[in-house]
Structure 1
């Protein structure tokens, strides 16, 4: 599922703004402010000398004029005030977004019923390791993605797009999906049937199950009308590790890669179609919903119950 692509690469734009405003801020602190102070000191010394001379001649002068002159001389130019002043805010946003948490919006239904269209979620950027902004290169190892995690990553076929899916297979796993049922490393995944789910976007019902993915319980949907086979040419990097037939497929996850699937199993473009997700594409772990867009745009306050963590 495509999450968002703001102006092509929002992280790069934020980085450029941070550098630009930061350069002006440092220029002002270490150069321009000192120049203004030196010019102010010289002008005030001349002002004091002239006032002393006039005072000696018996003229009484207003003391407030000196403070007004000082404030005027030390005031930042407008171009500095309206650029450099944004630097601390932009720097804080850049650091929070790059190393701690990043917000995303869910635009499609491929993760139903876990995530609805319009859910505004938060992604933990450090749980899978600290990465350099823009380059997305991991510099500090912390944790590895686990089966059942809901993960945001760069779409392998277009790195400008962020996708969100559930981790089904980690490196070395053998994943089999036959007749819409999963088997992981020879262990059949168990399912508990739930009442049918109404997809409010499509106005259709889907079969609704609780899936126990090697100890991680979460909900999935199946469309009985959809075929069991995976359509397409099945050509992607290391596709030789997968075999497809009319009942589904079997894939062995290569080292440093992950197999991802949407919870809305028959309405999700995922690893079944475009292949494995390499570690360098990982953005972070989705862990909570902080709002749903319909609360803001349509005043649908029933969606407030969406706020919170999810599995």
Structure 2
């Protein structure tokens, strides 16, 4: 017993180009893929050939959107979402969320980037501040011992790292097959030099730090005759002195790690002539710049005095 086959169903096109629902027309198969022109059932596919399996367009079901077949639709299961047609209202909450997702993602990315940059900038500013604070200190000049080079009440920026030392003997113990040589302790940049204006920690009987100029360095034989300084028998020419000292000082040899300091106001300065040589550990740092008052703004007057001709 056999039943007659059902008549072919006509394709339904529920939407026209204006987006309005209308009654489908008499078009049965506009592309000619499903039914032959006679309206009879299409012949069976030949499953044994490649073309009949993969290339025959009758196996491709047309993909339809609200406005008919989309040019971007692909046959098979891997289909991209249909693009939104301008002019049609988007009433579905899911469609609205899909459209708003890229904007929300971009806004979240900008916010995250801004917060990260603010945190990085803040950490960098703190690091720079701590580094500067550890290497640069400020001092206020009190008194007239450096007159006329430095005024009473003048503010100085002092570099406290320029005379830093490193113990290479300790480092050599951790580095195999390396002999640092002599001396074992060396300066990272350079040691105190003649003519440097330095800040000293308080000495015995002095209640505050002092600001002086280095006159004699280790290895010098220093002598003062009628206010004139001689180093190894050579006169030290000091253009920053306006009121020279009139007394004498017997020759002394400055040992390693010691320095002879004096104020530029030789007649009103409490310095190495009274309290003796200064240990390098008592030197806080080197004056780098003056920042107040405005008239004294600029680099600190670190002048290297010139030695005269040998006798």
Band the TM-score falls in, shorter-chain normalisation: 0.3 to 0.5
State the TM-score, normalizing by the size of structure 1: 0.46
In terms of fraction of residues, the more helix-rich structure is: 1
In terms of fraction of residues, the more strand-rich structure is: 1
State the TM-score, normalizing by the size of structure 2: 0.46
